[in-house]
Each structure stands twice: as C-alpha cells, then as structure tokens.
Chains A and B, each alone.
Chain A
Amino acid sequence: MVKRLSVVDSERCTGCQLCMFNCSRRFGVGGLGKSTIHVKSAGGVERGFVVVVCRACEDPAPCARVCPVDALQSRNGYGVTLNRDRCIGCRMCVEACPIGAVFWDEENNKPAICVYCGVCAKYCPHSVIALEEIKTGSEVT
C-alpha cells in the first residue's frame, strides 16, 4: 500500500510549524531549512494558513519528468524518491511542481523531497495533516 500526506483541515492549523520543525529534525538539526512541508499565512495570520504537502503524483510525476539526470524516480507508481548522488542541483523540479511542494535545502543545494514518513503528522498537535493510503487504479470506486 502506498502512502502520502493529506491536509485534513487547514482551518485547524495554528501556524505553529511543528510539522516543519520535526521534518527538519529527521536530520538531527533544529530550524526549518530541511523541511519538505511548508506552512505560511494566507496573507496574514488573521486569514489562517496555507499548508503545502507533496501530493505524491502518479507516475510520471511533474518533478521527475523535468529532471535532466533522472535523479527523481517514481516510488511504486506514486510520488518520487531522490537519488542525491545523481542530482546536479538545477532546481528544475522546484519550478515544475504545480503546487510548489518541492522545497530547497540551501545547505546541500538539493531539493527537499517528502519521503512520506508521516513524522509531521505525528507532531501536529491539532490533527491538520495525516498520512493516508493512496487508492491506486483498480481500488478507486
């Protein structure tokens, strides 16, 4: 079963960015710079928040399609995995993602690609995001 992240209800988001902090923390560092999820205000805190997560597009994903060195490979038909050794840091994937869910790890000059581990959902105190199973082709009713 292939999993991906889903924004269950962005109206519950308080903008604390614990998802982003904990995504970065997978690498044993603090801060937000390695996050593969992004929370920003919808034009000021008073208007609530926008939560951007990778949707794990069906193969061929837009980010993988434009990668000139095939560093982004399909993950069992949905979403992608990054081969860091192949990546040349051209940022084409960032440009290609239609929802802006490919972020940039400035310190490594490589894209920050969601691995669908769900750590962000685990640390979301208000159940804004969740890990869900993708209903693949034959399962869709």
Chain B
Amino acid sequence: MSEFLPSNVLYIDLSKHLYRIKNREELFKEYIGGTGVATQLLLEECEKGCDPLGPGNVIVFAVGPLTNLYPMASKTVTMFKSPHTGNLGESHAGGRSAVAIRSAGYGAIVIKGVSESPVYLAIHEDEVFFRDAAAYWGMDSAQTVGRVIRENEPGSGMRTIMRIGKAGENLVTYANLVTETYRHFGRLGLGAVFGSKKLKAVLVSGRKTTPVADKKLYRELYETLYNQQTKSSALRKYHDLGTASNILVLNELKGLPTRNVKQSSFEGAEEISGENLAEKYLGRRVACAHCPVACIHLATLREPYIDEPYFYKTTWVPYDYELLYALGCMLGVSSVDGVLKLIDEVENWGLDAMSTGVVLAWATEAVEKNLVTKEETLGLEPKWGDHETYLKMIELVVEQPNEFYKQLAKGVERAAKKYGGQEFALAMGGNEMPGYHTGPAAYVGFYTGARHSHLDSAGYSVDQKAVGKSEELTPEKIADKLFKEESWRQILSSLVVCFFARGVYTPETVAKTLKTVELDFSEEQLIEKGEKILREKYRFKLREGFNFEDLRIPQRILETESPHKIIKKETIEEAIKLYADKLKPQK
C-alpha cells in the first residue's frame, strides 16, 4: 500500500451518526485526487435521479497527492448534485481546508444521509464528533458561526471551519459554503445541500505529516516551484491589484457586463476598479495555506452607528473581480461603499455573489418591464445603482416571505420561467453568468463547461487573446481550445493546484512532482487522463439528464456589443455541437 497517496476516505452517515474509514488507493492511483477522485465517489454514492435536497444526495470533499507538499496545491474540490441546476455540482475553495483535510489523514470525505436535528461535524484526525448545532441554527451571520466554533474547538492554526449561513438553512439554491471567513465553495448551491442535511458546519483539524518517496527530487522541485511562484511575472497580477484589475481591462474592451448586459461598459468603472479600491480601501491581504501569492484582498468599510454618535464599526470585506462585477456594474452600482455593503451582505447570509447579482439584475429589469408588480416585490422598486433597495431584497431572497422571493431564491432560470423575461435571464446551463461578455468563446465555455463556470475552460481568455487579431474565432477553433483547456484543468483540479498557478504547474512539472509520490505518468498520459476525467464528469451529467440540446441562449447576449462586436448565435450553437462530439467516448 502506498504511504505517499492520501488514500483514506472518511465516510460519514448523518442519518445514523456513524462513520468509517476506508482505504481507496486504487481510486487515487487511477484518478490522482481532487476532481478525478471526487467524480468517482459521486458516481458511486449519489443515488441516481435523487432529489438534490433529499437524503440520496451526498457531499464529497477531495484533496490531492501534492497537498501539504508543494506550494499552491491547497484547494479542496467538493462534489454533490446541485440543487441549482439539478445536475453536477462542483465547487472549489482554498483557505486552510485542503491542508487540514490531508493533515487529518484523509484524501476525501463523503457525507451522506440527513441528520434528524442540526449538527456540526468536528473531525479531529481519526475521531469524528457529531456536535449539536441547535444553538447555531438561525444565527444571522456565517461569520458568527465561525467565530463561536473557533472558540469552542481545539486545533487553532491547524484546522478549517467550513460553515453555511442562513441562506443555506433556508435552501436558497445558490447558497454557498464559507471557509476561513473569506473563501467560498461559491457556486451551484453546496450551502443548500448542507442545509437540507441539517449540517451547519464541518471542522477538520490535524497535524499529520506527509512523506515523499524521493526527498532529493522533492527538495529540488520545491525550490523551483517556490521561486517561480514568488518571482515570475505570471503571478504578478494576483499579487498586486488582484483579479479586480480586470474591471478596467474589460471596460476598455467593452466586455464588462453592465446593467444585466444592456451595456458592456460601465461609466462607474473607475470607481469600482481594482486600482481605486487598492488606493483607498485595501486594508490587508491574506493567503490560503501554503500560498506565497496572498490574492485575498480585504477592503475596510467604515460605517457610523446611527443611534450613537462617534461610534463606528469597521468591517473587512473581501473583494475580487467577480464580486465587483456581480454586485457592482451588473447592478449599475458605482458607489464603492454600496458595493462593499452588498458584498458584506452576501457574505453574512452565505450566498453565491455571482448568482445573487445576476438574479437582482434580472429582477430590476423585470420590474422595469412590469413583469412583476409592486405587490410581488413587497413594495420594493429596484433601480440600477440603488444598493439600499438591493440590500433589502437580498434579505427577502433569504427569508422568502412570498412566492416571488421564493422564485428568486431558485435563480433566474426558474424565476424567468414563471414571470417571463427569459430573453434577459442570464443563466447558461442553469447557472448565472460570470463577468465576461468578451465574445463567443466565453459563452461557449459557460454552456459546455461541466460546471457552467468561467473557470472550466476560460473562454474569456480565448476571446481576449483573439481581439484585434486577423484570425477569426471559428466554432472549430473555439471548441478545440476550450476542450483542451477544460481537459487539462481536470488534472490541475485533481492535483488541487490553484488555477492561478497554472502557468507554473506545466505538464512537465506536474509529471515530475508526481514522481515524488510514486505516481508515474508521462506528460501525454496526463493529458489523456484529463480528458478521461472530463468524460467521467459528463457521465454523471448525462446520467442525471443533462442534454446539450436543452441549452437556452438568451437574446440579450446576442444584442449587446462585445469585444468581438455582435456575437452570433450560430457560432455559439455550432461550437457547442462540436464540443459535444469531442466528449463522446473515443475509439
């Protein structure tokens, strides 16, 4: 048995409050870890056709063989059946989660069943405690939950505390799971799956060290990777302004989704730019475990208390490009305080920021077009830029006092089905769009990516690189590039390497690092394996009823100018078809 792979899988049954540990070395040898292994565990454990919010659904956490060993291999992959799309749910986050899981002695954790009453799990290496979470249920802020657990459990500095907010308890289908206050398993509704299982939080702690097979090679590779990560220019943009630097870049290109993509540039872009935030608001930068980059940018928001003069509170608010897009330009909000308040609000409730922003953008337009009445909005009249009304609406989405807000809590796809306005309901594959109106490749990526995320295949990058070039972005080229990228990213997310480090974890380097844990794959084998893992993910999607022909293309994205002018529907459709062909089993 290999001592170098994180082969132990912890199985937890919430219905019976039981757990067991099983060695699954064969899975890690074949599928490496992370996404590769989690896909198999999902295929094994998630009941076919189950209700995502019922007992048949499972939650899988997986880390990789490089976690603990090399810098920037500290992501955790979660998999579940998504209550948002009714299909594959996959979400990644860093913080201390991956290091804690591996240091506790595990490569993966599978949580199934439903607890009778609220619990949180405290996993301290080989011991699992099912702690009563009645006192935590209904707390207003996910941050408070973290704070209280922090005070009541051991393992400070050697643990992760992953928890949901009220949005998860109330089964908002795009509720997220928060870890270490500022990192999120953001997309596709893992928070609601937690809520449906009456699971408030999972704490994991451990101090186990991780051996390597070849100490000399390990030392050499570590040195190389560390130097590349700290000195190379490839990672510069994540260090300095962070991803927020995209605001001005995309605005200039006319690829910045604004006011529900009625526009592709924003007159308030300077205000909410990474440059402006860094200059006036950036208060601290923090990092995930074992990462020299420290891309997590925290802004300070200073607010006076109305009831007591000279009383202020200062809140640390994390910002990234996607949040500034979704709760800034997408809603026409140019006030930085306004955007930061909105971010803080979704943080406290435990909502996915991107879906929340797109839902509110759709609602604003639906009100504009009289598709919904004032009665339905409970008297609120959302208007572009009016963050105060949006703050009130977010609370109502979480509380769901009437049918309208119940629908908003299920995302734009379902809300638009009921109230109309599908032509401006900006979800692709059921998932609200990320912040890239950059051209056809971005959208093809949202549709074909296994989790309908911009991070699946980075189509926005294909678009941006092609701007101003004579070479045309044909459907063939788009499908080809995206398929290659998504396939390779399966290897990165199976290693649980942060995508920001993709430039340094090249196929050559990955093959070498795997040798230090006795996994021997050539570069070609790795590339093939990436394709295989992608097909396995699609095996789950197809099993659960995914069909490329069901994809809906909202008219709005075909009307607003992009860096590639007006995007043609045929280009998107043709590229999707070609992509689907590539996914078919190869002879």
Most B CB contacts (10 A, CB to CB) among A16, A25, A123 go to: A16
**Residue ranges of A at the interface with B (Cβ–Cβ < 8 Å):** 14-18, 21, 24-25, 27-34, 38-41, 43-46, 48, 106-107, 123, 125-126
7 contacts across the A-B interface (CB closer than 8 A): A17-B289, A28-B218, A31-B210, A32-B99, A46-B181, A46-B298, A125-B292
B146 touches A44 (CB 8 A): yes
- For the A-B complex, the count of residue pairs with Cβ-Cβ distances under 8 Å equals 97
- 6 smallest beta-carbon distances between A and B, as pairs: A40-B157, A30-B69, A30-B210, A16-B287, A30-B68, A125-B292
Q: Which residue of B lies closest to A123 (CB)?
A: B226
B207 touches A33 (CB 8 A): yes
Bound Cα distance A21, B286 (Å): 17
CB distance from A52 to the nearest CB of B (A): 9
Is B339 in contact with chain A by the CB < 8 A criterion?
no
Checking B158, B210, B287 against A15 with a beta-carbon cut-off of 8 angstroms, the contacting residue is B287
Checking A16, A28, A43 against B288 with a beta-carbon cut-off of 8 angstroms, the contacting residue is A16
Instruction: Give chain A residues whose Cβ lies under 8 Å from the Cβ of B292.
Output: 16, 18, 125
Instruction: Give chain B residues whose Cβ lies under 8 Å from the Cβ of A125.
Output: 230, 292, 294
Given A15-B287, A44-B147, A31 and B180 contact (CB-CB distance below 8 Å): no
Q: Which residue of A lies closest to B103 (CB)?
A: A31
Bound Cα distance A31, B212 (Å): 11
Is B182 in contact with chain A by the CB < 8 A criterion?
yes
B294 touches A14 (CB 8 A): yes
Checking A28, A29, A43 against B150 with a beta-carbon cut-off of 8 angstroms, the contacting residue is A43
Bound Cα distance A46, B215 (Å): 37
CB distance from A107 to the nearest CB of B (A): 6
Q: Which residue of A lies closest to B158 (CB)?
A: A32
Bound Cα distance A48, B99 (Å): 19
B157 touches A14 (CB 8 A): no
Bound Cα distance A30, B103 (Å): 9
Given A30-B68, A48-B284, A123-B226, A16 and B291 contact (CB-CB distance below 8 Å): yes
B103 touches A33 (CB 8 A): yes
CB distance from A141 to the nearest CB of B (A): 36
Bound Cα distance A6, B209 (Å): 26
Checking B99, B156, B285, B316 against A14 with a beta-carbon cut-off of 8 angstroms, the contacting residue is B285
Instruction: Give chain B residues whose Cβ lies under 8 Å from the Cβ of A29.
Output: 209-212
Is B552 in contact with chain A by the CB < 8 A criterion?
no
Instruction: Give chain B residues whose Cβ lies under 8 Å from the Cβ of A32.
Output: 68, 99, 103, 158, 207, 209
CB distance from A68 to the nearest CB of B (A): 25
Checking A16, A17, A24 against B209 with a beta-carbon cut-off of 8 angstroms, the contacting residue is A24
B222 touches A14 (CB 8 A): no
A126 touches B209 (CB 8 A): no
Q: Which residue of B lies closest to A11 (CB)?
A: B284
CB distance from A92 to the nearest CB of B (A): 20
CB distance from A11 to the nearest CB of B (A): 8
Most B CB contacts (10 A, CB to CB) among A15, A30, A38, A41 go to: A30
Is B198 in contact with chain A by the CB < 8 A criterion?
no
Instruction: Give chain B residues whose Cβ lies under 8 Å from the Cβ of A30.
Output: 68-70, 209-212
Is B236 in contact with chain A by the CB < 8 A criterion?
no
Q: Which residue of B lies closest to A126 (CB)?
A: B294
Instruction: Give chain B residues whose Cβ lies under 8 Å from the Cβ of A106.
Output: 207-208
Bound Cα distance A18, B289 (Å): 8
Is B102 in contact with chain A by the CB < 8 A criterion?
yes
B287 touches A14 (CB 8 A): yes
A38 touches B181 (CB 8 A): no
| Chain B stretch 187-220: residues in CB contact (< 8 A) with chain A | 207-212, 215, 218-219
Q: Which residue of A lies closest to B181 (CB)?
A: A45
B157 touches A39 (CB 8 A): yes
Apart from A31-B103, A44-B181, what are 17 other A-B pairs with CB-CB below 8 Å?
A16-B290, A17-B99, A18-B290, A18-B292, A21-B71, A25-B222, A28-B218, A28-B219, A30-B211, A30-B212, A31-B102, A31-B207, A33-B209, A44-B150, A45-B182, A106-B207, A125-B230
Checking A14, A16, A31 against B208 with a beta-carbon cut-off of 8 angstroms, the contacting residue is A31
Instruction: Give chain B residues whose Cβ lies under 8 Å from the Cβ of A46.
Output: 143, 181-182, 298, 316
Instruction: Give chain A residues whose Cβ lies under 8 Å from the Cβ of B209.
Output: 24, 27, 29-34, 107
Instruction: Give chain B residues whose Cβ lies under 8 Å from the Cβ of A34.
Output: 209
A45 touches B286 (CB 8 A): yes
B102 touches A15 (CB 8 A): no
Instruction: Give chain B residues whose Cβ lies under 8 Å from the Cβ of A31.
Output: 68, 99, 102-103, 207-210
Checking A17, A40, A48, A123 against B156 with a beta-carbon cut-off of 8 angstroms, the contacting residue is A40
Q: Which residue of B lies closest to A52 (CB)?
A: B157
Instruction: Give chain B residues whose Cβ lies under 8 Å from the Cβ of A17.
Output: 99, 157, 289-290
Instruction: Give chain A residues whose Cβ lies under 8 Å from the Cβ of B286.
Output: 14-15, 45
Bound Cα distance A53, B70 (Å): 23
CB distance from B352 to the nearest CB of A (A): 20
CB distance from A47 to the nearest CB of B (A): 8
Instruction: Give chain A residues whose Cβ lies under 8 Å from the Cβ of B215.
Output: 28
Q: Which residue of B lies closest to A38 (CB)?
A: B157
Instruction: Give chain A residues whose Cβ lies under 8 Å from the Cβ of B156.
Output: 40-41
Bound Cα distance A48, B287 (Å): 11
Bound Cα distance A29, B211 (Å): 5
CB distance from A78 to the nearest CB of B (A): 26
Given A44-B146, A125-B230, A16 and B294 contact (CB-CB distance below 8 Å): yes
Most A CB contacts (10 A, CB to CB) among B143, B182, B289, B316 go to: B289
Instruction: Give chain A residues whose Cβ lies under 8 Å from the Cβ of B103.
Output: 31-33
| Chain B stretch 50-107: residues in CB contact (< 8 A) with chain A | 68-71, 99, 102-103
Q: B219-241 vs A: 1/0 string, CB under 8 Å?
A: 10010001000100000000000
Bound Cα distance A106, B285 (Å): 32
Bound Cα distance A29, B207 (Å): 12
B208 touches A33 (CB 8 A): yes
CB distance from A98 to the nearest CB of B (A): 18
CB distance from A27 to the nearest CB of B (A): 8
Instruction: Give chain B residues whose Cβ lies under 8 Å from the Cβ of A14.
Output: 285-287, 294, 296
Most B CB contacts (10 A, CB to CB) among A21, A31, A126 go to: A31
Q: Which residue of A lies closest to B180 (CB)?
A: A45
